[in-house]
Structures are given as structure tokens and as C-alpha cells.
Homo-oligomer: A and B are copies of this chain.
Amino acid sequence: MTATDATPPIRLLLCDDHAVVRAGLLALLSSTAGIEVVGEAGSGEEALAMAARVRPDVVLMDLQLGDGMDGVEATRRLASGTGPTPPQEPAPRVLVLTMFDTDADIARAIEAGATGYLLKAERPEELFAAIRNAAAGRTALSAPVADRLMAQMRTPRPTLSERERDILQQLARGLGNREIARALFISEATVKTHLGRIYGKLGVDTRAGAVAVATGRRLLG
């Protein structure tokens, strides 16, 4: 509404695996002053290729991307400029737009280099503001996300090691200890040891409970 047309529009790339949602965002953002949607992608791979071509200022990235590369990995490559064409001059800012405000998702996205993290449940105005902030290099977190981050800093969760996550993943497939052992090429005893530590860290005492907590915290791939 105000006279902000002096600056060139923000070049935006959409990445979401749901075509209808993507089309909706396109329609929504195209009619927003100061923003120009320069591309759409339905997968992480597409986003990387498209970004290398159109060089957007900001990538609006969903974390859940169906089959192929997940949003975190796509974010990592985009933000680090490690695209298919190696020397990505100005790495685009990645703004994560997703449905979940889980600790694990937030942490992974930020660690991967996201400039912002906001929720699809947020008001559209927040989205516009976040895009502008991201374009300017400012961090953009929506309120619930910021809350969770602060809470996480105050009471740091015991973090699962990579191996423990491996175990947990097999566990969530419903495998028994012996099968997990075979799947990961370790002994059954080791599996039990890991499971013991996992129980401790997740605050449960049964394997089904571990699966429940893990799915709740979205610790699984």
C-alpha cells in the first residue's frame, strides 16, 4: 500500500510437493506487492536445478517433500551454495514453510542453514513479512517456533546419537532385536544396549513407547 516500489521486487522460488498448494501460494504471492515468483518446484531436486537457473533471492521451502530429497537436505544444499553448478555466487536465503513446529524439524532446518522457519498455520501477513525479512538476510521465526526454540535452549533435550537414531528407525519398522541387529550388521547385545540408552533419553521403558515418543517428536525419517 505504501510507496515501497523504489526497491526491485524480491525474486522468489516456491518449493512444495503439492501442486494445489503451490498454485495457491503462487496466486497469493503474485498479487503481493514487492514479491515476484520466478519459479516453482515440486521436489528438492527440481528446486536445486531451478535455483541454479533463475537465481532467486528467497526460496520458500516445504520440509515434507514426498519421495526424493527431503526439505532439510534441499535447504542445506541451497544455503551452502552446493548446487549442481558448484560455484553458486549468492546463495539464496531459504525460508522454511511447513506444517510442523517440532523441535527436531526446527533444529534440523536451522542447522541446515535456513534463514527462517514459519508455519502454514500462520497468518498470511506473517508470511509476507517473513519473506521480506528473509530477503534482507534477517532471521524470520514465527512465534510458536521461537517459543519452542527458547524452551529447548532452557531445558536442552538429551540428543540421540546417530547410531541410536538408526536403531530407533529399525525399531519403528517393527523389527525385533535380532532383526535390527542383522539389519545394522551388529550383535543383538549391542542393539539392546542402544535400546537401553534410547529408553533413558526418551523417558520410556518399552519399545512401543519409544516408537510412540519418536513419532510424536518426529525423530524418524
| CA–CA, A211 and B220, complex, Å | 14
Instruction: Among B19, B27, B122, B208, point to the contact of A175 (Cβ < 8 A).
Output: B208
- Residues of chain B within 8 A (CB-CB) of A212 are 172-174, 211
Interface of A, helix, strand, loop or mixed by DSSP: helix
Copies of this chain held together in the complex: 2
Query: Is residue A90 contacting chain B, with contact meaning CB distance below 8 A?
Result: no
- Residues of chain B within 8 A (CB-CB) of A30 are 27
Query: Is residue A154 contacting chain B, with contact meaning CB distance below 8 A?
Result: no
Query: Is residue A171 contacting chain B, with contact meaning CB distance below 8 A?
Result: yes
Taking CB atoms and an 8 Å cut-off, the chain A residues in 130-177 that contact chain B are: 171-176
Contact A20 B97 (CB under 8 A): yes
Taking CB atoms and an 8 Å cut-off, the chain A residues in 105-132 that contact chain B are: 119-124, 127
Q: Which residues of A contact B (CB under 8 A)?
A: 17-21, 23-28, 30-31, 66, 97, 99, 119-124, 127, 171-176, 204, 206-213, 215
